[in-house]
Amino acid sequence: MKYNYLIVGAGLYGAAFAQQAREAGKSVLVIDKRPQIAGNVYTRDVEGIHVHQYGAHIFHTNNKEVWDYVNRFATFNRFTNSPVANYHGELFSLPFNMYTFNKMWGAVTPEEAAAKIEEQKRQAGITNPRNLEEQAISLVGTDIYEKLIKGYTEKQWGRPCTELPAFIIKRLPVRLTFDNNYFNALYQGIPVGGYTRLVANMLEGIEVRLSCNYLEDRPYWDSLADRILFTGCIDAFFDYRYGHLEYRSLRFESALLEIPDFQGNAVVNYTERDIPFTRIIEHKHFEFGQQPCTVITHEYPEAFQPGKEPYYPVNDAKNTRLFQSYQQLAAAHPQVLFGGRLAQYTYADMDDTMAAALQLWKKEYQRILEH
């Protein structure tokens, strides 16, 4: 059988495009090199707890079209992301708000907090930030930078903040209110039953083949469909002709604990440099679990090497130029569509990923109508 579309990758992007194509009456085959669907939002069940296998994922959006779309396939709970920062045993609220400033300086009113931040910014005297450290201090002052930003960021990127470009922190949300919601989003939550169920519902009625590596047998897979959507790494698609795009990777270490609660919150960031992990995730709190046990995950940033999972693109000038070269190669393959965070070499929130997939299908459907 020849399919209208071969979708390479069963993550959110591939699943959304596949669902839309099937809904329009097209024949679709989805393949993924992993033994499971859902890409990096994959959740697995451990003692009734939905464990976020590849790190914490909280769905949040201001896009009503996207929110209405995902709610077709899952019911979302009321989870609100309110992470906590642990610095040498002191706990601070994230994002930076009045709870943070009260703990940091004893500030009680917004006026007091604003005055303290302005005082520290003025003392630093930075007018033209040359790197991430200077950019952060110019935005929030030295105390918050030293305790809550510096160590965490250096672990995340594997480089001193003085060597990181200022644009990584274009802005830091500072709230002079007691609002602990990390996101400024109209809609937010976790799909009840986990993300794997959400993606499975999106792929209902669509043929899916797992543990299939497109790049290892490209002529065979190409022969199965008229058009291809590729959601993998764009440099891998072109056999690294111009070299490897750089990423940061992550390593996760999970443990099942025979206690009902470990840290009382879904996400706690560890912001001091000497602790090798960046955060601990306690998965049951994403769905207000009442299980007698709990699952925690330590998240360790790592340098990316072939064979490791690519997570965060290193969007510096060198890699941006390299990606643009691959984009030019992609333009010479009109039968192949490139989409998703890896094919677009971007860091994308889930709602942006979904919106981009829905937009690509609209464009594709318009092409079909015109032909």
Is residue 159 annotated as part of the catalytic site, yes or no?
Answer: no
Strand order, beta sheet including 90-93: 90-93, 84-87, 267-270, 279-282, 294-303, 247-257, 312-313
Q: Pick the catalytic residue: 133, 248, 282, 287?
A: 248
| pLDDT tens digits, one per residue of 85-121 | 999 999 999 989 999 999 999 999 999 999 999 999 8
Q: Does residue 312 have an active-site annotation?
A: no
Beta carbons within 10 angstroms of residue 209's beta carbon: 11
Is residue 347 among the annotated active site residues?
A: yes
Q: Is 119 a catalytic residue?
A: no
pTM confidence score: 0.95
CA-to-CA distance for 291 and 218, rounded, in angstroms?
45
Q: Which of 54, 133, 134, 279 is catalytic?
A: 279
Q: Are 350 and 356 in contact (CB under 8 A)?
A: no
174 DSSP assignment: B
To the query of whether residue 326 is one of the catalytic residues in this protein, the response is no
User: In the CATH scheme, what is the code of domain 3-37+203-244+314-370?
Assistant: 3.40.50.720
- Alpha-carbon gap, residue 326 to 167, rounded angstroms: 23
CA atoms within 13 A on the CB side of 242: 18
Look at residue 170 and tell me whether its pLDDT is greater than 80: no
Indicate if 341 belongs to the active site: no
pLDDT, residue 172, reads: 78
Active site residue 187: no
Q: What pLDDT, on a 0 to 100 scale, did the predictor assign at position 332?
A: 96
Q: Where are the domains of the chain?
A: 3-37+203-244+314-370, 94-169
Name the strand (E) or helix (H) holding 184. none
